Amino acid sequence: MPGLVQGLEIARRALFAHQASLNVTGNNIANVSTPGYTRQVVDLVPSPSERTPEGVLGTGVVMQSVKRARDIFLDIQIRDEMGLAGKWSARSNILTQVESVINEPSDDGLSSLLDGFWDSWLDLSNNPEDPAARSVVVQSGVTLADGLRQTDFRLRQIMDAADADIEQRVANLNSLFQEAANLNAQIRRAEVGGGVESNLRDRRDLILDELAQKGGATNLVRTDGTVVVRMGGRTVVEGNSSVPLEAQRYNDDGRVRVRIVFAEDKTSPSFLSGELAGLLEARDQVLPDFLSKMDQMTQAITTSVNRIHEAGPSHLPFFRGDRAQILEVVPEIAGDPSQVNAGTTGDAGDNDIALAVAALRDARVMSRSTASIPDFYRSVVAEIGSLGQQAKLLSDSQDKAVQSVEAQRQSAIGVNLDEELTRMMTTQKAYEAAARLFSTVSTMLDTLLKM
């Protein structure tokens, strides 16, 4: 009797185990296109053996657990790559905008405006008494000043846009911090009795990926199933609590700027990777450096031209303003081109001032008298181009690295329909065999009872 009853129990356990396995396979197939879904695997193990007079006999199979096919090493690796990819992508985007502002080489770039300015003075030296030549000098000066002001304005627009972007990103990161903390609490409660809450963990892993890409976040999974997230040099998520960031506005020489601090103690985070790192580096280093060099060039133009021009009869400076943002031709000259000094004496044919200003094209008045104004500007443009090319190359390289590691991760955690269909057929046959076993043992038991 115990033998037949045990047979029924073995068949029953097999039916339940293979039914559960089929359900998990079906769930995998249903979520084949679900973003962030981790393939689930049924862990079937033999049930405890039973000692009998005839020896130790097996008692069937049971489902021990449902596991997530997750590779922690690949998660760490891809998040590191995502952080670097995000950094270089954000930096590349800003530099692309800067290059579009510079727009070199082109007919309306600053290089062309500088050439037009020097050429107008050279033309004036050839016709110092010509009112039209003076008008062209004034117009070329106005155009050059407008070009420098416009370049400065558009670069500052990029900085303003970066500030607005930072505010949005900080709000988004804080939302992700809070969601990760809430998921920590839900996962800990759900897994108190054992097992793994796969759906909640899948959602949390998506958030961790996003935090790595946007802010260079790293994480550590604790034994209780919760994660500790670090970003900017400190812990931002632990257990069910989070430390939010704050986009703090402040006045910077009359302009409203934004800086990131921890809301808790107003200390500044240090971002080493992630989109925020690239955005902040471009905004706080690349753009101010370029603006500073534009101001250096503007000051050199203003100082050099004015020093020569003031020696003429009008004794007026030609330009006003030592920064690109405020540069303009002095109103007295802009409104009256006759005030342009072609020569020191103002006599007919006197063209020494016009020649001297035209000669500034090649004069080494920049970089401690080692470079001319056009050479200095070309070097600045080349530097921006080099930085942009570097960022683009590294961004493309990191994207390929992310794709490579993601392919490896998907091979481990993703749903392969061919494998799942094969597993489904195997499970179906096992289930049918268990049902046949149950039917056979039941028939044998009925026969025995009728005796």
Instruction: For 387-423, write each residue's pLDDT tens digit.
Output: 999 999 999 999 999 999 999 999 999 999 999 999 9
The sign of the CA dihedral 96, 148, 361, 287 is: negative
Can you give the pLDDT at residue 55?
Answer: 77
CA 345 vs. chain centroid, Å, equals 61
Burial readout 121-138 (b: 16 or more C-beta within 10 A, e: otherwise): bbbbbeebeeeebbebbb
268 in the same domain as 142? yes
194 in the same domain as 56? no
Residue 407 in any domain: the answer is no
433 in the same domain as 304? no
Burial-class residue 193 by CB neighbours within 10 Å (0-12, 13-18, 19+): exposed
**Strand (E) or helix (H) holding 66:** strand 61-68
Give the C-alpha separation, 282 to 94, whole Å: 7
Residue 2's pLDDT band, with cuts at 50, 70 and 90, is low
Residue 22 in any domain: the answer is yes
Pairing status of strand 364-366 against strand 371-372: antiparallel
Residue 409 in any domain: the answer is no
Q: What is the pTM of this model?
A: 0.88
Q: Are 308 and 353 in contact (CB under 8 A)?
A: yes
Pairing status of strand 245-252 against strand 255-262: antiparallel
Residue 54 in any domain: the answer is yes
Query: How large is the average pLDDT for residues 145-168?
Result: 96
Residue 371 in any domain: the answer is yes
High-pLDDT (> 70) share of the chain, %? 100
Q: Residue 332 corresponds to which tokens in the numbers above?
A: 């007295």
284 in the same domain as 320? yes
pLDDT tens column, 198-231: 999 999 999 999 999 999 999 999 988 999 999 9
Give the C-alpha separation, 23 to 34, whole Å: 17
SS3 category, 247: strand
Q: Are 240 and 182 in contact (CB under 8 A)?
A: yes
383 in the same domain as 263? yes
117 in the same domain as 50? no
106 in the same domain as 29? no
Q: Tell me how far CA of residue 14 lies from CA of 44, 83, 335, in angstroms.
A: 10, 47, 98
Residue 93 in any domain: the answer is yes
- Count how many domains the chain has: 2
> Amino acid letter at 401?
A
Contacts of 7 by beta carbon, 8 Å cutoff, 6+ apart: 437, 441, 444
248 in the same domain as 126? yes
Residue 55 in any domain: the answer is yes
Q: How many CB atoms lie within 10 A of CB 98?
A: 20
87 in the same domain as 55? no
What is the domain extent for residue 30?
2-69+414-450
Can you give the pLDDT at residue 1?
Answer: 42
Q: Which neighbouring-strand residues pair with 248?
A: 259
Can you give the pLDDT at residue 296?
Answer: 96
396 in the same domain as 330? yes
Residue 175 is given by DSSP the state H
245 in the same domain as 345? yes
189 in the same domain as 107? yes
Query: How large is the average pLDDT for residues 30-39?
Result: 95
Residue 79's pLDDT band, with cuts at 50, 70 and 90, is very high
Can you give the pLDDT at residue 193?
Answer: 78
**Strand (E) or helix (H) holding 5:** helix 2-30
Question: Omega before 337 cis (within 30°)?
Answer: no
Residue 148 in any domain: the answer is yes
